[in-house]
Structure 1
Amino acid sequence: MRAVTDRLTHLRSDARDNRERILEAARAVFAADGLDAPMRKIARTAAVGPATLYRHFPTKQELVTEAFSERMRACYVVVDEGLADPDPWRGFSTVIERLCELQSRDRGFTAAFMSSYPGAMDFAADRGHALGSFAALARRAKEAGRLRADFTLDDLILVLMANGGIQAPSPAARVAASRRFAALAVQAFRASPDAAPLPPAARLAFVAA
């Protein structure tokens, strides 16, 4: 009986390990190739067979949603903490800065957040919640006279799209460049722009299209 129990425990442990490898591989492949990356490449990267992959995640929609659920929770925390800040402009600025940094560290998450991925209804609802909370924060910042009156949620999407296009010779340089870009964006959104110092400039790589 003990031998059977040990075998079942070992099988469950192997299944957990396979699942974590698949999720880690999916995040890496989606970050490099986008959400259109084939499932077979994810299986190869995770060093599992296609049958194992599909046993854990029968559809790509399920894999995308699960792979980025932790990132979405981090996004929730960023927006909710900004909304809870008694200074709405500080909260608004912090959300822009932290979202840009999250994006610079994980482009796969950004692709999932920005897209309307077929069938990922839970993820779409999460995105709607985050954007709704940010819209409430923006309204408070406008009412305080700190955020320019013509700011819209489309401007946030524009910032994330532009930030996602940053090319740099290393991950650290990409994060540094993202921080500077976020500071520039925040200054542009001020109702009365000032000359607050920017973060240090980063040396960037020019990549041919």
Structure 2
Amino acid sequence: MSETPLRADAARNRELLLDSAVRLFAARGPDAPLEDVAAAAGVGVATLYRRFPTREDLLLAVADRKMDAYEQVLRTAQAIADPWTAFASYVENFCAAQAADGRLADILTMVFPAAREFEARRMALYNGYLALVRDAQAAGALRADYSPEDLPVLLMANAGVLRATAETAPGAWKRFVAYMLQAFCASHQREDLPPAPTPRQMMRSMQQVTACHGRSAPDAR
């Protein structure tokens, strides 16, 4: 059975709440009081709970909006003919989106490992990324020992850089990512690397981050 479309005013309120949640969560993290989200949207708390009965529902909706942006990063890379430039574009733009997210990056870490609603989109994004990796390696531009799991490690490290430099050196992440791309480039390869984490290890790492967020979060009403 298809969902009943929202009335115009209900749809407008939903978008106002999402806009507000994106701004507040980016600035204050996913534990920002939902009352503040409603106030910033100019609606009552009861309206928020009608649209999003739980904090998780709101986090999922915010993450869904952010997934749109990450899918655009992939489409931009896929439109580039040169395999290395396409791969580098994906990494740079993904990290740029992460930088623009502020503390929304915490939401993506919290939501994606567990939310089945995102499985198809996440896998399509991942498979598109894998194709970029294969093409760049086949062209001899990306070092042969690069592992797809190196990107999640880079994103975790970049999240730390962003948190540490957000107020004092907000562009520091760009230099860090440029250094990493040089390390990934086959022409800069100097020596063999230690083994990359396995996909299972990376998933468990992300779940551990999620668990830590859950232990430190206040009442999620």
Task: For residue 146 of structure 1, report the CA deviation from its aligned partner.
Answer: 1.0
Does the CA-based 8 Å contact 1:61-1:120 persist in structure 2? no
Task: For residue 25 of structure 1, report the CA deviation from its aligned partner.
Answer: 2.1
Matches within 5 A, 1:60-75: 60-75=55-70
Task: For residue 28 of structure 1, report the CA deviation from its aligned partner.
Answer: 2.4
Output the amino acid matched with 2:134. R
Distance 1:15 1:193 in 2: 54
- Alpha carbon RMSD of aligned pairs, Å? 2.5
Distance 1:58 1:168 in 2: 32
Secondary structure, counterpart of 1:125 in structure 2: helix
Question: Which of 17, 31, 34 in structure 2 is aligned with 1:22?
Answer: 17
Secondary structure, counterpart of 2:145 in structure 1: coil
Q: Taking structure 1 as reference, are residues 139 and 118 closer, same or farther at Cα in structure 2, changes over 3 Å only?
A: closer
Query: Looking at CA atoms only, which structure, 1 or 2, has the larger radius of gyration?
Result: 1
Structure 2 unaligned residues grouped into runs of 5+: 1-6, 190-221
Aligned equivalent of 2:76: 81
Matches within 5 A, 1:112-123: 112-116=107-111, 120-123=115-118
TM-score using structure 2 length: 0.70
Q: Does 1:110 align with 2:95?
A: no
Q: Does 1:147 align with 2:145?
A: no
Distance 1:55 1:119 in 2: 24
Distance 1:58 1:101 in 2: 32
Output the amino acid matched with 1:159. L
Name the count of aligned residue pairs. 180
Aligned equivalent of 1:186: 181
Does the CA-based 8 Å contact 2:87-2:136 persist in structure 1? yes
Distance 1:130 1:117 in 2: 12
Output the amino acid matched with 1:139. R
Output the amino acid matched with 1:71. K
Q: Taking structure 1 as reference, are residues 154 and 36 closer, same or farther at Cα in structure 2, changes over 3 Å only?
A: farther
**Percent identity over paired residues:** 41
Runs of 4+ in 1 over 6 A off after TM superposition: none
